Amino acid sequence: MENIGIPKAIKPRPYWVQYISAYIVFFLGLFVGKIKVQGRWNIPKEGPIVLASNHFAYFDPFLLVYAIHRPIDFIMQKELGIEPYFLFAPMIYGAILTDRNKVGPSIVKQSLNTIKNGKILGIFPEGGITSPVLTKAKPGAVFLASIAKATVLPVSVRGASDAWDNIFRGVRSRIHVNIG
């Protein structure tokens, strides 16, 4: 199950590429809306971290890297990895691909390696992009954090799901990223 659906050449890019891509989102955000980040002081300076965030828009991962200022590897459903229009995110960030119906030991091992290598493991506990209303979270974030003895860093993103619709109406959205 290692990198199913993503060619070998598409691996996580260096951190500076991830960091620059987050600022590209910031500059796009100037046109789309205003991005406000609160709670950066809640990010642990050191130690393993599992970031758990809601997920309402396709560019949430970029907003999270912009807000956190550290490399994040996201767990992603493998079905999205084979769709060409979804490859932009794994091309920049890399991804741990998983089958939602059967999580095997290789996913746990890859996730623990990500944390061990100093990156933040990003998980969307609801299981991907959901409706604008939060749904019941799956236990994966807490499970991996307990195995890795990592801090769970809760993050919420609000306003991103409406941003693309609003831009066509000439309205700039307010996007809020709350950390902790």
Q: Is residue 3 part of a domain?
A: no
Q: Is the pLDDT score of 109 beyond 50?
A: yes
* Cβ atoms 179, 42 nearer than 8 A: yes
Given this model, what pLDDT does residue 176 score?
93
DSSP state of 132: S
* Residue range 25-35, pLDDT digits in tens: 667 667 777 88
The residue ranking higher by pLDDT, 172 or 100, is: 172
95 vs 132, which has greater pLDDT?
95
pLDDT for residue 130: 64
Could you tell me if residue 162 is inside a domain? yes
Residue 167 lies in a domain: yes
Q: Tell me: pLDDT of 85 over 70.
A: no
Amino acid (one-letter) located at 111? S
CA dist., res. 12 & res. 97, Å (int): 13
Q: What's the pLDDT score for residue 57? A: 82
Give CA–CA dist 101/127, Å, rounded: 11
Q: Is there a domain that residue 5 lies in?
A: no
Q: What share of the chain is helix, strand, coil (3-state, %, to 5)?
A: 40, 20, 35
Q: Which helix (H) or strand (E) holds 165?
A: helix 160-168
For residue 166, what are the domain limits? 15-179
> What total of structural domains would you count in the chain?
1
146 domain residue, yes or no: yes
In a domain, 7, yes or no: no
First vs last Cα of the chain: how many Å apart?
32
Within-domain flag for 153: yes
| pLDDT (tens digit per residue) in 134-150 | 777 777 888 888 888 99
- Any domain includes 6: no
Structure tokens at 145: 């954090």
* Average confidence score pLDDT of the chain: 78
pTM for this predicted structure: 0.80
Q: Which CATH number is 41's domain given? A: 3.40.1130.10
